[in-house]
Chain A
């Protein structure tokens, strides 16, 4: 057995890498599931109540209870829907989110995929994300779902453009689309949040819109569209949309950490390599809590207000940021 392993070092390497990849993605899903608990507890805290605190210590078992419940629910497909699309949509929602997470460099040694245009792939996949919601809304064949699906398309055209542009400043600074390279650049030159503050503002706005979180949860707006695009969904398919949303939050937190807050870098990481993951996890947790805080405090804007904010505020902001960064980079190149 050992001889065989020694004879095939590449195979062993790829085996280890696959195991690592599975571990990372599993941890992501589990974290996303527990985030439902975190969100409910934090919302409770900020609304001066407790939130789920009965099942297990601190109510941590609530997620397991919810999962058991959702597995035992009838997975019903309404007779009037377009079956294939209806089934595929939640899989796309969850699958794409996990696919995007594959790009995240967790620590210097961990991470699923190392692609030298990682940022571009992320933007591309974020663009595809809209299909899950759109197809789900359209296949459901109900007016609320369709409106939710329509809204998500409109929302996408408003944020997609400035999301890409807001990140280009970072690409200029780091000189690479490679997420690992961007983290290493920040470890050497300080976090991007300081030189790229406006880019950060625009990106966070877009990130919330990507994962359809309050305040930009127009596609699911409970108060006006029932549940928006997933009105007709039930059981595990609804669960996949639901967990997909939370994977999305973990994802955008991780991406924000990587792009603007130095990823795994932090005090003490050079001397103690094991500190890389705690730093990364801590930063992600801060952002996850931040997104929950946003949900707790901000009301949902009107449909046109959201678009106006995207096109009239965030787009100019990210363009100015882009031009400013370009000027600084060019000046620096000439000065050197």
Chain B
């Protein structure tokens, strides 16, 4: 600071001014703090009043179903690979009637999950989704390991119209190759006809 003098080098008048200024600033602080008596509180009394959570909030993870009510998850394991903490594990199996893949069991350990949402990003079928529910507290750590029954919901979640098997080329019983939406019929490489 140009022209600044340490207190002991200032003239007595300046020192008196310093003191008065100091007293003034302290009183001003007190008045300002007191004015907070009439201010709206910044916090909400939580369990009674719940905060608003935007729909894309990353909370409790669910497994959704497609519009037809079938499980969306095809047990591709991409979420388990993407998960940075490795808290997803699942086992693939096949439905005998149409050959659709689905997880035999699906397990998320929420005591490890960091709610990063990478599993949701990785999922090709929009099966795994994060929801705005954040109230996951449990008394026992073991209760935080969610099985498939706990994860699977009956609705479609954030993507109401998406149905993986209808748009993907994977053939299942009742939907041969080329029958998916916007999919052209497979090319017969053995034929010479155009």
Interface of B is mostly: helix
Contact of B43 among A50, A293, A296, A297 (CB under 8 A): A50
User: Does any Cβ of A come within 8 Å of B42's Cβ?
Assistant: yes
4 further A-B contacts with Cβ under 8 Å, apart from A48-B36, A48-B39, are: A46-B34, A53-B45, A296-B33, A298-B30
- The 8 A-B residue pairs with the shortest CB-CB distance, nearest first, are A297-B33, A48-B42, A49-B43, A297-B30, A46-B36, A297-B29, A48-B41, A296-B33
List residues of chain A with CB within 8 A of the CB of B43: 48-50
Q: Interface size of B by Cβ–Cβ distance < 8 Å?
A: 15
- C-alpha spacing A46/B29, complex, angstroms: 12
- C-alpha spacing A297/B30, complex, angstroms: 5
| A313 lies within 8 A of B19 (CB) | yes
Residues of A within 8 A of B (CB): 45-50, 53, 293-294, 296-298, 313
* CB of A108 to closest CB in B, whole Å: 33
List residues of chain B with CB within 8 A of the CB of A48: 36, 39-43
List residues of chain A with CB within 8 A of the CB of B1: none
List residues of chain B with CB within 8 A of the CB of A294: 30
List residues of chain B with CB within 8 A of the CB of A298: 26, 29-30
Q: Write the chain A residue with the least CB distance to B29.
A: A297
Q: Write the chain B residue with the least CB distance to A53.
A: B45
| B36 lies within 8 A of A47 (CB) | yes
* CB of A266 to closest CB in B, whole Å: 23
User: Does any Cβ of A come within 8 Å of B32's Cβ?
Assistant: yes
- C-alpha spacing A50/B26, complex, angstroms: 25
Q: Write the chain A residue with the least CB distance to B32.
A: A297
- C-alpha spacing A297/B25, complex, angstroms: 11
- C-alpha spacing A296/B39, complex, angstroms: 15
Q: Write the chain B residue with the least CB distance to A294.
A: B30
* CB of B134 to closest CB in A, whole Å: 20
Among B18-70, those with CB < 8 Å from A are 19, 26, 29-30, 32-34, 36-37, 39-43, 45
List residues of chain B with CB within 8 A of the CB of A49: 41-43
| B42 lies within 8 A of A293 (CB) | no
Q: Write the chain A residue with the least CB distance to B39.
A: A48
* CB of A173 to closest CB in B, whole Å: 25
Instruction: Pick 10 A–B contacts, CB within 8 A, sort by A.
Output: A45-B37, A46-B36, A48-B40, A48-B42, A49-B41, A49-B43, A53-B45, A293-B34, A298-B29, A313-B19
* CB of B67 to closest CB in A, whole Å: 46
List residues of chain B with CB within 8 A of the CB of A296: 33
List residues of chain B with CB within 8 A of the CB of A293: 30, 33-34
| A50 lies within 8 A of B41 (CB) | yes
- C-alpha spacing A333/B174, complex, angstroms: 116
* CB of B9 to closest CB in A, whole Å: 15
| A45 lies within 8 A of B30 (CB) | no
Q: Write the chain B residue with the least CB distance to A313.
A: B19
| B29 lies within 8 A of A45 (CB) | no
* CB of A217 to closest CB in B, whole Å: 16
- C-alpha spacing A280/B29, complex, angstroms: 28
List residues of chain B with CB within 8 A of the CB of A297: 29-30, 32-34
Q: Write the chain A residue with the least CB distance to B27.
A: A297
- C-alpha spacing A48/B43, complex, angstroms: 7
* CB of B42 to closest CB in A, whole Å: 4
Listed residue (A46, A49, A297, A298) with the most chain B CB atoms within 10 angstroms of its CB: A297
- C-alpha spacing A45/B37, complex, angstroms: 6
Contact of A50 among B32, B33, B39, B45 (CB under 8 A): B45
- C-alpha spacing A212/B181, complex, angstroms: 78
Q: Write the chain A residue with the least CB distance to B42.
A: A48
List residues of chain B with CB within 8 A of the CB of A46: 33-34, 36-37
- C-alpha spacing A165/B44, complex, angstroms: 49
Q: Write the chain A residue with the least CB distance to B44.
A: A50
Q: Write the chain A residue with the least CB distance to B43.
A: A49
List residues of chain A with CB within 8 A of the CB of B37: 45-46
- C-alpha spacing A298/B33, complex, angstroms: 9
- C-alpha spacing A47/B34, complex, angstroms: 10
- C-alpha spacing A296/B32, complex, angstroms: 11
- C-alpha spacing A195/B19, complex, angstroms: 22
List residues of chain A with CB within 8 A of the CB of B39: 48
| A45 lies within 8 A of B36 (CB) | yes
- C-alpha spacing A49/B40, complex, angstroms: 9
List residues of chain B with CB within 8 A of the CB of A53: 45
* CB of A207 to closest CB in B, whole Å: 16
Q: Write the chain A residue with the least CB distance to B16.
A: A313
- C-alpha spacing A53/B47, complex, angstroms: 13
- C-alpha spacing A85/B34, complex, angstroms: 41
